[in-house]
Chain A
Amino acid sequence: MTSAVSLQQVSRHFGPIRAMDAVDLEIAPGEFFAMLGPSGSGKTTCLRVIAGFEQPTAGHIEIFGETAEGVPPYRRNVNTVFQDYALFPHLNVLDNVAYSLMLRKVDKAERHRQAEDALAMVKLSGYGARRPGQLSGGQRQRVALARAIVNRPKVLLLDEPLGALDLKLRESMQEELKSLQRSLGITFIFVTHDQGEALSMADRVAVFSDGKVMQVGTPEEIYNRPNSRFVADFVGSSNLLPPDFTATITGQRAWASLRPEAIHITPSDGAAMQGRVTARSFMGSTVRLGLYVNGASLHAVVPASGNSANVDDMVGVLFAPEALHLMERET
């Protein structure tokens, strides 16, 4: 099956800056794909290359099997929801949403009807006559979304669309985006630097660092089996264990990750591995403990009930060797 978007060794350099460096990605049709990475890691550049605002310095791009290099943005059936919405201030909400239909010379009544439908889809019926300036941030975000989906693009690119929203609105928008994507069946490519958002929403996630893709996989793979220190560190709350520590348990010298939930606390007497509690914070049903074990700092998340370990107590530390995930990459 042809990929919705296929990047083959795509690079985009700005002088000495390698904003994208030999990126390979295959994004399947209908997939909800997230690009995750710290600030400046090249996520926006990658989206702009797919949208056609930037031309790659090297490499090959296909969109639904068709070569995209040299094709201007207006000939790509790919729409973008911009981070700062980019709504047209001189048009009202309805005309903003109907913009792409207007360009295609759809007649006025028909395009307004379709725009109303799109507004209804983002729960903004009745806001058509307003100017973008008269809307809240969350409402503008929905208008931008309605404008991008009104003509049913093949691929929708979203650049941190929820970045400016407060937590509650953000969570409800996450669900709405997800269900919208399911009902439309459009391929979504979603940029975020919030790992929780990426892991909870996406079918697959690509983790970016310094213009390179470090790992691509399902949220479970990324979370449970990070292939590098960078991914383990960025994606999550996993413990990172240095090669010296790993060697004492597995005999193999490699960086490893260990999920905090996999660690059990036992009484210190007779335990094979002992550690000192360095921090303790109550999280409701669980307790998060900082531990110092054999020269490594770990943290564990354990059930709150029956755990009375206090800071500076010595405890036994227990985990199954299989829970230790060895990473194939050096960094």
Chain B
Amino acid sequence: MIVLDTGAILPRRGGIFGALSDAFWRHPKLLVFLMLTPPVLWFGIIYLGSLLALLLQSFYSLDEFSGLVVPEFTLSTYAQLFRPSNFDIIVRTVLMAAAVTLASGIVAFPIAYMAARYAKGKWKALFYLGVMLPLWSSYLVKVYAWKLILAKEGILNWVFESLRLTPLLDAFLSIPVIGGNSLSVSYTGTFLVFLYIWLPYMILPTQAALERVPVNLIDASGDLGATPFQTFWHVIFPLALPGLVAGSIFTFSLTLGDYIIPNIVGSSRQIIGQAVYAQQGSAGNIPLAAAFTVVPIVIMGLYLWMAKRLGAFDAL
């Protein structure tokens, strides 16, 4: 046994870190204060502050003749949102976001399930790599790549042609609203690119939630007489639901806010992101742009409230 020649109380550690450790131990709140100040400043002032400034702007209006913002409280800008041309934009965006979210959920779940339940070691690393790799390359590169894939002269058309399925594609493109001249200028094209770009944001939280489902709950369910399908439906799915909802918050709100993808791949009819971009840019109508930005916030609030009402967070 090594006998150290020390007293019951060890001497102070020297140096600035020693002094700091002692000070933090004696005043734990000091540490919390120091750790929280920068993020609170950032989040509170810069982020929430600018959000509030934006909200404030939405209660101003634009003088139609002078083109100047009138800093007086009014609800007229919000009323403008309900003009058919603007309201269409909102409905279109929400439908697009809902479709993208639903499809991501359907595509992501099996992938996340496989990764969480069956992938081990090397395969798990491969899964993370596969899901994250697309996030490492530029968003613009990926969107333009999709434009090329979906274009009239693009690879997808070529595939359909080689399989002699062009009539099928043409029939699809002739469907109003979702069709168009080619996939790259149709809503379907926008939808496919959104689906591809946001998919990792759906897969990762879903996989994390599935991973946290304890194996013994699955055993217990089987033990009590549940077939694998019943176990999935009554145990695994409800426990993974918060992850799916978290993922859907990403895909839904990202779609509500994006303006680049529909600009590059899509029809000429705008969605909210593009409307905000146009209003605050060329049109110089900051109040209307601000009012448009409030829409996704309200919709997300409603969505979360509904999800909670439906019990999506019961497993948390």
Contact = CB atoms under 8 A, between A and B. Distances in A.
A88 interface: yes
B153 interface: no
Contact of B315 (A51, A90, A99): A90
A51 B225 CA distance: 11
Nearest to A78: B223
Given A89-B239, A90-B239, A100 B217 contact: no
Interface string B106-146: 00000000000000000000000000000000000000000
Considering residues B214, B219, B223, B239, which has the most beta carbons from chain A within 10 angstroms of its beta carbon? B223
Given A89-B239, A90-B238, A151 B225 contact: yes
Contact of A99 (B214, B221, B239, B314): B221
Given A90-B238, A90-B315, A73 B222 contact: yes
Contacts of B216: 82, 84, 86
B226 interface: yes
A100 B220 contact: no
B224 A82 contact: no
Given A90-B315, A103-B230, A79 B235 contact: no
A84 B216 CA distance: 9
A78 B222 CA distance: 11
A72 interface: yes
Contacts of A41: none
A80 interface: yes
A151 B238 CA distance: 24
A70 B224 CA distance: 17
B310 to A, nearest CB: 13
Interface residues of B, number: 19
Interface string A59-99: 00000000000001110001110101011111000000001
Contacts of B239: 89-90
Contacts of A168: none
Task: State the majority secondary structure of interface residues on B.
Answer: helix
B21 interface: no
B314 A90 contact: yes
Contact of A103 (B214, B217, B226): B226
B315 A89 contact: yes
B166 interface: no
A72 B221 CA distance: 12
A23 B216 CA distance: 25
A80 B223 contact: yes
A100 B219 contact: no
Contacts of B280: none
Interface in B196-252: 214, 216-217, 219-227, 230, 234-235, 238-239
Contacts of B238: 90
A286 B315 CA distance: 54
Given A89-B315, A90-B238, A90-B239, A103 B219 contact: no
A151 B220 CA distance: 14
Contacts of A78: 223
B223 A51 contact: yes
A82 B230 contact: no
B224 A103 contact: yes
A99 B230 CA distance: 11
A100 B314 contact: no
Contacts of B226: 74, 99, 103
Interface in B20-77: none
A86 to B, nearest CB: 4
Interface in A205-261: none
A80 B222 CA distance: 10
Contacts of B230: 103
Interface in B279-316: 314-315
B227 A86 contact: no
Contacts of B314: 90
A100 B315 contact: no
A99 B222 CA distance: 11
Contacts of A84: 216
B315 A73 contact: no
Contacts of A51: 223
Interface of B: 214, 216-217, 219-227, 230, 234-235, 238-239, 314-315
The 9 residue pairs across chains A and B that have the minimum distance between CB atoms: A86-B220, A90-B315, A100-B224, A73-B222, A86-B216, A90-B238, A80-B223, A74-B222, A90-B314
Interface of A: 51-53, 72-74, 78-80, 82, 84, 86-90, 99-100, 102-104, 147-148, 151
24 contacts: A51-B223, A52-B222, A53-B219, A53-B222, A74-B225, A74-B227, A78-B223, A80-B223, A82-B219, A82-B220, A86-B217, A87-B220, A88-B217, A88-B220, A88-B235, A89-B239, A90-B315, A99-B221, A100-B224, A100-B225, A102-B234, A103-B225, A103-B226, A104-B225
Given A74-B222, A88-B235, A100-B225, 8 more contacts: A80-B220, A82-B220, A87-B220, A90-B238, A99-B234, A103-B230, A103-B234, A151-B225
